Amino acid sequence: MFLKALRRRKPIVDLLRETQGQKGGLSRSLGVMDIILYGVGSSVGAGIYSLIGVGAKEAGPAISLSFLFCGLACIFTSLSYSEFAARVPVAGSAYTFVYASFGEFAAWLVGWNLTLGYGVSAAVIARSWAEYLSNFISDSGQEVPSYFTKLDIEGVECNPLSVVIIMACTLVLCLGVKESTKFNAAMTVLNLLVLTYVLFAGSPEVNEESLEPFAPKGVKGVAKGAGLVFFAYLGFDMVACLSEEVKDPQKNMPVGIIGSLLVSMSIYVSLSVVIVGMAPMELLGGLTP
């Protein structure tokens, strides 16, 4: 019985029937542009503000190639996500897809794997946000108490301000899908405007000497850099979680998933060239590169 339960699958028909017959369920109110903005907003901030400097320490100026190769790999993965999201337009993303295809035990493993990935990425980005906020307040002439940014707990350095940021983001999500989508869209547009300004204002400031040697550690360095920045693309698979809230998911989900990935990849590659070209390598690699 136990082994049979591990292999137990839930047919797609049953998943769809449960969604359609559920009272007070999620409403289908999102369009293609909402999906793309959600995907871009979920990933671009991580890659640009937190990972370029870290990856450049290993790949050098060739970090742009690391982002490119990661993006190409994710494109093939996104095709699978798009197919599943169109066929099984319910909440759950990869967990639901695996549950319907391989069974309950495989879905359990995938679910915890996703939780671990999202948890690690959220921790890194929250700490980076906290450092940026702390630096911004300090540059404004205000002193930030040390216990807000560095707190030693049994030998482990923690950042309480990052916890506050995560709680604030959670509160926004609890307001509802429409409100959180509007907030995400506004923040994503603001983010893209800032990055566009950096791209056009920084391009003339690129120093060719900063781009040489382009790949100091060769293919090994590019591959290691790709491993460091790969989870910057997590946003495209998070889009699949919106399947149950999207209008006409069979048409809009594939366009939204692949579209958000292409936009994110273009931003990563172009901005990484500009940032590495502007800043000396010794300045890159911290929480606020």
User: Tens digits of per-residue pLDDT, 121-138?
Assistant: 778 778 877 877 887 788
Between CA 289 and CA 46 the distance in angstroms is 12
Torsion sign over Cα 191, 228, 72, 181: negative
Of the candidate ranges 1-15, 115-129, 131-145, 219-233, the one whose mean pLDDT is the lowest:
1-15
Between CA 137 and CA 150 the distance in angstroms is 15
Check whether 18 has a pLDDT greater than 60.
yes
**pLDDT at residue number 24:** 52
Check whether 112 has a pLDDT greater than 60.
yes
Paired with 152 in beta bridges are: 157
Between CA 148 and CA 241 the distance in angstroms is 33
Report the mean per-residue pLDDT for the chain.
78
3-state secondary structure the chain: CHHHHHCCCCCHHHHHHHHHCCCCCCCCCECHHHHHHHHHHHHHHHHHHHHHHHHHHHHHHHHHHHHHHHHHHHHHHHHHHHHHHHHCCCCCCHHHHHHHHCCHHHHHHHHHHHHHHHHHHHHHHHHHHHHHHHHHHHHCCCCCCHHHHCEEECCEEECHHHHHHHHHHHHHHHCCHHHHHHHHHHHHHHHHHHHHHHHHHHHHHCCHHHHCCCCCCHHHHHHHHHHHHHHHHCHHHHHHHHHHHECCHHHHHHHHHHHHHHHHHHHHHHHHHHHHHHCCHHHCCCCCC
**pLDDT at residue number 46:** 56
Between CA 98 and CA 104 the distance in angstroms is 8
pTM here is 0.73
**pLDDT at residue number 47:** 57
Section 95-100 average pLDDT:
79
Choose among 282, 269, 220: nearest CA to 68: 269
Check whether 191 has a pLDDT greater than 70.
yes
Overall residue count recorded for the chain in this entry:
289
Check whether 288 has a pLDDT greater than 60.
no
pLDDT level of residue 285 (50, 70, 90 thresholds):
low
Residue-wise pLDDT tens digits, 194-226: 888 888 888 888 887 777 788 888 888 888 888
